[in-house]
Amino acid sequence: MLEYDYDKHEVAKRYINNPIITPDMIPERCNTVFNAGAIKHGDEYILLVRVEMLENFSQLYVARSKTGFDFKIDKKPLIFPSKTGPFAQYENLGIEDPRITKMGRYYYITYTAYSRYDPLVSLARTKDFVKVEKLGPVSLPSNKDCVIFPEKINGKYVRIDRPMSGYKANMWLSYSDDLKYWGDYKILMTPRWGKWDSDRIGAGAVPIKTPYGWLEIYHGVKDTAKGGIYKLGAVLLDLEHPEKILGRTNIPILTPKAEYERIGDIENVVFTCGAIQEEDNSIKIYYGASDSFICLAETDTETLINLCYEGNNSNGKKNNGNGES
């Protein structure tokens, strides 16, 4: 039986052998590894790992495992900044923070493309995690933290992203007929004053479909005198009308406490780009720790849904997810 660290104050339990991926496992010289998209492909667990190279740009490597715990890294990156072609000018400073959504024959990968024009969301797709096709930008800058729902809702593709204007960082919904052109924007969530996610929020893993709603694991930031503290929470969205919030956790489900989460390139960070729901309804959360390692924590669907409902009904008031009652 695999062991997890037990902490009665944490909802998600850390894998006892964390970190599961470290910079020394990457075939090429690099600075750090973190923020991996996650999905199952056949009998393999796939992580698409953000690797920051010594030159200070990021690219994405595939990590493979039969167990979900012990990973081997491909020798060459799957997605790296284009040097020529129509997309080169939008990603020449790096490719970051992938999320993976399976639809039809393809795995669609959203990632943050960096350039002198500021970050934007780009899209790629693959059938096998061996060959990949870039589809190009699907947002204006500045934008990031994009996840695409794993099925159409009311005949439309749906995504969550985080367009930014100045200091504001809210989560938005938008819709598309073709995955390229997006519109019908709706505000989804805002930071909540005085709470653990009071300054910035953003989508984390691709939403998980449950009988009760779409379960989205997201990150929230509270700024302090020593910098931001990144934590994870969850929100439950209506299956047919995902702009409707059914519940949102008042407490974080994972907080930076372990040494590998508190000490690294960026202190006090847990940040997910991917989670996998198993057949027994346990959820493996793969997360970046201190922008330096990839780690694993586990919880279960029922626990997260109950926490979302508890947050919705705290103090006898209904929380609309936007920090208001």
**Residue environment code for 224-237, b if the CB has 16+ CB neighbours within 10 A, otherwise e:** eeeebbbbbbbbbb
Mean pLDDT of 209-218: 99
Pairing of strands 282-289, 293-300: antiparallel
Round to whole Å and give the CA distance between 259 and 269.
11
Tokens coding 120: 């934007």
State which H helix or E strand residue 290 sits in.
none
Reported confidence tier of residue 301, pLDDT bands at 50, 70, 90: very high
Q: Is there a contact between 48 and 62 (Cβ–Cβ < 8 Å)? A: yes
- State the chain's mean pLDDT as an integer: 94
Burial class (CB in 10 A: 0-12, 13-18, 19+), 267: middle
Mean pLDDT of 226-238: 97
| 13-314 homologous superfamily | Glycosyl hydrolase domain; family 43 (2.115.10.20)
The DSSP line for 211-240 is TTEEEEEEEEEEEETTEEEEEEEEEEE-SS
pLDDT reported for residue 322? 60
State which H helix or E strand residue 308 sits in.
helix 301-312
Tokens coding 75: 């020798």
Domain ranges of the chain: 13-314
Q: Around Cβ 155, how many Cβ atoms within 10 Å?
A: 7
Mean pLDDT of 224-237: 96
pLDDT reported for residue 153? 99
Reported confidence tier of residue 316, pLDDT bands at 50, 70, 90: very low
pLDDT reported for residue 5? 73
Asked whether residue 86 carries a pLDDT value surpassing 70, the answer given is yes
User: Can you tell me which residue has the tokens 């109950």?
Assistant: 306
Reported confidence tier of residue 321, pLDDT bands at 50, 70, 90: low
